[in-house]
Structure 1
Amino acid sequence: MHADAAMGGRGILAAACLDDVTAASVAATLQALAIPFRLLLLTTLRRSSRSVTELASEVAMEQSAVGRGIRSKNRPADRNGYREP
């Protein structure tokens, strides 16, 4: 069986067709998910939305750490460094 067929036709050949922008976006997503506590936060949020306070309580972490963990690095910051949620 061809390697691409083993992956339902979306594997190796599809990856070879990524443009630079899409590849960078996928790489950034995978990099974010490689951080264990961020993966924990995101999988917890996937079940339902929560406030930072609720999320911090549920995963037994400091609220400030949770806030930093869910902040997107891809959103543009204003001149004070604030990023829209």
Structure 2
Amino acid sequence: MANTVSAKKMTRKIAKRTAINRSRRSRMRTFVRKVEEALASGDAATALTALRTAEPEIMRASQKGIVHKNTASRKVSRLAARVKLLQA
């Protein structure tokens, strides 16, 4: 348990930041899930539009430090490849 005023303040700040990060991570995963559901249904048009909305969310999460830059790029790349395969 924090005893000093500064430690108590840091505890509050950490809790607030954790909630924000959890929200951003959840939002990113939701957008990714929408693309995956569209891919599973076999609807190429829906998958493409879902990917176009998911890509900025994934990259925004990487800019905010939620996921690593390379992880975000890899996710976008793999989703784009699957959407391209579905369109072909």
Query: 1 or 2, which has the higher helix percentage?
Result: 2
- The alignment's TM-score, normalised by the length of structure 1, stands at 0.33
Q: Which has the higher contact order (CA 8 A, sep 6+)?
A: 2
- The alignment's TM-score, normalised by the length of structure 2, stands at 0.32
